[in-house]
Amino acid sequence: MTHGHVPFRRSYKPFRGPFDPCPPIGVKYYVTPPNLFIGFQPPNFKQFSAIEALRKGTLWVPFYDYYENPYKK
Amino acid sequence: MWTYEKKLMYPVRVSTCNPTLAKYLMEQYGGADGELAAALRYLNQRYTIPEKVIGLLTDIGTEEFAHLEMIATMIYKLTKDATPQQLKEAGLAEHYVSHDSALFYNNAAGVPFTASYIQAKGDPIADLYEDIAAEEKARATYQWIIDQSDDPDLNDGLRFLREREIVHSQRFREAVVMISEDKNQKKIF
């Protein structure tokens, strides 16, 4: 299952047994980071400005992936 | 040889007094997939890998020490003013008994660092795949720490470090491509 607005997130529904002691978490989320999909970096990749790149941790827009706790309510 | 710049790679800010987060951060300090393990792994593998990718291992291994320094700063800020009682409440009583507030290469559960966390098989493909796995594990560890932390400033620094893991994994993946190419193969375009 992909998540419409967040391209590098996936989820699955863990098995639910009839006698599980805890209320169900519902879905488990996991990350499929951009490095899985790009292969060898092609030329002329889109760049952040220098200042922005220093903040974000990468110069390259396609490698940027902001992370937030997916379970946060 | 190295030169040292007396500043952090990315500014470290911690806005809430929550020494428990220091305990979690130790996973990235002295844990199996932490920054120390990463730096030692890459810098050690440099000697027995094709020339093309030695520079990459040097660059990334060096950067890992810069990350280690950021993690150390975070842990230090969270523990330097904590009383023995506060450290106890943070689950760090055992750490205090052994080390006072000194930093030590333990993981989040207090297990000391060991060289067997890192591998050097001498097989370039095996070693680079190990490095890719290590980067993904470090990325995941940063995610789990962010999930446990509600300090926005600390998380800002952790997000920067997590992004670096993504880029490092990408570069190691590219290194595999570089050393897999067959030089004798004639390509006709």
Q: What is the pLDDT at residue A1?
A: 54
Beta strands in A1-73 (DSSP E): 2-3, 6-12, 28-31
Here the ipTM equals 0.88
- Name the residue facing A67 among B162, B170, B177 (closest C-beta): B162
B168 labelled binding-site residue: yes
Whether the Cβ atoms of residue B162 and residue B121 lie closer than 8 Å to each other: no
Assess whether pLDDT exceeds 90 at residue A7: no
Domain range list for chain B? 19-179
CATH architecture observed for domain B19-179? Up-down Bundle (1.20)
Indicate the length of chain A as a whole number: 73
**CA of A43 vs chain B CAs: smallest distance (Å):** 13
How far is A26 from chain B, CA to nearest CA, in Å?
A: 17
Torsion sign over Cα B6, A66, B142, A72 = positive
Q: What percent of chain B has pLDDT over 70?
A: 97
Give the C-alpha distances (Å, rounded to integers) separating B59 from A31, B28, B54: 26, 19, 9
Pairs of CB atoms within 8 A across A/B: 57
**B150 among annotated binding-site residues:** no
In tens, the pLDDT along A11-70 reads 999 999 999 999 999 999 999 999 999 999 999 999 999 999 999 999 999 999 999 999
B37: CB partners within 8 A, 6+ apart: B31, B113, B117, B118, B134
Query: Would you mind telling me the total number of residues written for chain B in this entry?
Result: 189
pLDDT score at B42 = 98
Residue of A58, A69, A71 lying closest to B163 (CB–CB): A58
Domain regions of chain A by residue span: 2-63
Q: Best residue in A35, A36, A65 to probe B by mutation, most B CBs within 10 Å?
A: A35
Asked if pLDDT for residue B27 goes beyond 60, the answer is yes
Specify the pLDDT at position B82: 96
- Model confidence pLDDT, tens digit, residues B125-170: 999 999 999 999 999 999 999 999 999 999 999 999 999 999 999 9
Average of per-residue pLDDT values in chain B:
96
In the predicted model, is pLDDT for residue A2 greater than 60?
A: no
pLDDT at B189: 62
Strands A2-3 and A28-31: unpaired
Q: Region B95-119: what's the mean pLDDT? A: 96
The answer to whether B188 faces chain A, any CB pair under 8 Å, is no
Is the pTM higher than 0.95?
no
Q: Where are the alpha helices (DSSP H) in chain B?
A: 19-30, 35-45, 54-79, 84-89, 93-99, 124-148, 152-180
- The annotation status of B27 as a binding-site residue, yes or no, is no
